[in-house]
Structure formats: structure tokens, C-alpha cells
Structure 1
């Protein structure tokens, strides 16, 4: 039985990625890039398979371009990925992008003018929205969505490692 997974998200944008010092300890055997690491979906639809190859059964179809995913393994041209809910499987690498996006976890999250809880609010962003990841400090990340930019606490978004710093 094929299950179709459609995630409706309010915003959709992308940007380039980065690597944390801790991630460099576990490198993928194919790409020599950190495992785990975050990427985004390049395609608007991707078959998620039980194993790394076209002969393996399709368990899911992810249907949202720019959705952030975590790569947890590599084999040849295949990457094992998971979404915010831990759902996943194997996908061909050509359907993925190194551009970085995040999903907003709480509803109506305040985007701040700087990395401080007392900073002026630039906008509010809906829970489930996809935003472009711009930079991250130890506890805050700067994101961009629907023409607005601002800082949000790192623990309120999914698609970035808690120890990740981006400039």
C-alpha cells in the first residue's frame, strides 16, 4: 500500500548550508559530508523508498518543494532522510538540495529585530511554515519568509542542529 504524505506549509524559500565542528566526526562514506546533516527537497515530489534503489518499495511520497530533511545515511546515489516527524526512507540524491530551510514549530512565532527576547517584533510566522535559514548564533537563528526577516529562538524551528553556528 502506497501512503501519500502531503505537508501543507505556509511559506517556501531556500538558501545555502553549513557544517558544525561536531558533525565532522561522522562523515558520509560517499560524499565525505557530515552525517547527520540538513538539506531541503529540490523537487516538488519525491518517492521515499524502503531501501537504496529503484527496486525497493515506495513507502511515502513527499510533496513539498523546499521541505527541510535530515540525512541520516548514504549509499551510492541514495540518501536516507527523515522529516520533522521522523518519517522517511531512501531518496535519490538528485531530488535534494544543499539549500537550508527550517520549519517553524510553534504557532505565530515572533520574528525579532535582533537575537533577544526583548527586541522589537518584525513579524509573526505561522506554525508549520517553511522559512529560509540565514544565520545562527548559539541560541538564535535569523530566518526569512514571505519578505520578512528576523531572529527566532533556535529551539522553535526544525532543520538546524542545536549546536550549529552559521554566519
Structure 2
């Protein structure tokens, strides 16, 4: 009986972080200022404010078309790293932050020539060269939360949890139906409630 109990305990889903040592389960340490100092802002408060402003902005204004015909605002992700976030649309402008992890989702809300003005999951804004951004969709797991989020086998709250995802983990978005998203996180995939993700709009489908 003791052996059976131990085996059952060992089979329970564990909190999941990125297994690749080149990736970090938390985004905060992956963003550095030009002098490589870590972010020292009150992340939780900022994320709560960003979540409120994010929902208000989405519901208050209709999508607009950018210079390339794509809608504004929209989400994109970083193709590679490091990438400089600048105070203006050009290399002559100073650097606000340096993103040192690829695939981080960013919201594009303004365009100027080949430059894109973006907002990140903490509300930081600035300009990035458009060629450094990808249309591949990614998301951040509940950056406003301190609780792990369940990765489920099926898009249902009663479906078994196969893994626990820590807040700030970056996942790939496979598809979303407005309520649930199928996400990919190495080495597995599953479903997460859409409202638990930063990187996709409420009720957005694709």
C-alpha cells in the first residue's frame, strides 16, 4: 500500500517551467536595461493595471488598419534576441530596454515606416524595427497572477491537468476559440483558458 501511495504521488502533474536552460520560466529577469540591471518595478501592481487598461482599450476602440494593411492593435512576437526597445522610431533614438529572450509576445499599436510601437506584458512601451517581429503568436501565462495555471488535456475545466505552468512562462499559441487556447510548451501541448493568457485579446479566435 505504501508503494502504491508513493507511485500515485509521483504521477501527479508537476509545476512546469521551460526545460531548456537557455530559456527562463519568468520573463522579468529576461528583460534588462541598457546597463544590464534587472527590472525593479512592482511587477504585480503594474501587471494588474496593464490587464485593466488592456481590456478597456480593446472594448473601447474598434480595430484600425496599419500602413501595411494589418489591423492595429495586434499581437506579434520577437523573432530573435537580443532586441532593443527604443524611445523613438529610429536607431538614432536611445535604448529603453533590451529583450534577451526570443518569442516574447508584444502588442503593436502604432506604425511609422518600418518601425513598430509596441507594448509588453508589463506595460513598457517603445519602438522596434518591424523586421525583428514575427506574426507567429505566443503568449505569457498569467503575468498578473502568483498561482500556477493548469495545462489540460481538453478544453474543459473538468479535463485532467497534465502539467502546471508557472506565471510568466512563454507558450506558443496553436489556436484559440475565444474561451480556450491550445498552447505548445516544450515538450508537450494542451489547453489553457484564454483569459489566463497575455498575448491574445478577449474573445479573439484564430
TM-score (norm 1): 0.82
The superposition leaves residues 73-118 of structure 1 with CA deviations (integer Å, 9 ceiling, x where unpaired) of 0010000011101112001011111111111114421111111111
Q: Larger C-alpha radius of gyration, 1 or 2?
A: 2
Structure 1 match to 2:131:
94
Q: Distance in 1 between matches of 2:174 and 2:38?
A: 26
Tell me if 1:26 matches 2:64: yes
Relative to structure 1, the CA distance from residue 34 to residue 131 in structure 2 (aligned partners, 3 Å threshold; closer, same or farther) is same
Q: Distance in 1 between matches of 2:78 and 2:129?
A: 11
CA RMSD of aligned residues (A): 2.0
Whether the aligned pair in 1 keeps the contact of 2:63 and 2:73 (CA below 8 Å) is no
The offset of 1:4, in angstroms, is 4.4
Whether the aligned pair in 2 keeps the contact of 1:60 and 1:88 (CA below 8 Å) is no
Whether the aligned pair in 2 keeps the contact of 1:133 and 1:142 (CA below 8 Å) is yes
* Stretches of structure 1 lacking an aligned partner (at least 5 in a row): 8-22
* Stretches of structure 2 lacking an aligned partner (at least 5 in a row): 1-32, 40-60
Structure 2 match to 1:10:
none
Whether the aligned pair in 1 keeps the contact of 2:82 and 2:98 (CA below 8 Å) is yes
Structure 1 match to 2:160:
120
Q: Distance in 2 between matches of 1:102 and 1:117?
A: 20
Relative to structure 1, the CA distance from residue 25 to residue 158 in structure 2 (aligned partners, 3 Å threshold; closer, same or farther) is closer
Of Structure 1 and Structure 2, the greater helix share is in: 2
Relative to structure 1, the CA distance from residue 153 to residue 78 in structure 2 (aligned partners, 3 Å threshold; closer, same or farther) is same
Q: How many residues align?
A: 150
TM-score (norm 2): 0.68
Q: Distance in 2 between matches of 1:68 and 1:4?
A: 21
Q: Distance in 1 between matches of 2:135 and 2:35?
A: 26
The offset of 1:25, in angstroms, is 3.9
Q: Distance in 2 between matches of 1:56 and 1:140?
A: 40
Q: Distance in 1 between matches of 2:134 and 2:62?
A: 19
Whether the aligned pair in 2 keeps the contact of 1:5 and 1:60 (CA below 8 Å) is no
The offset of 1:24, in angstroms, is 7.9
The offset of 1:3, in angstroms, is 5.6
Structure 1 match to 2:104:
67
Q: Higher relative contact order by CA 8 Å / sep ≥ 6: 1 or 2?
A: 1
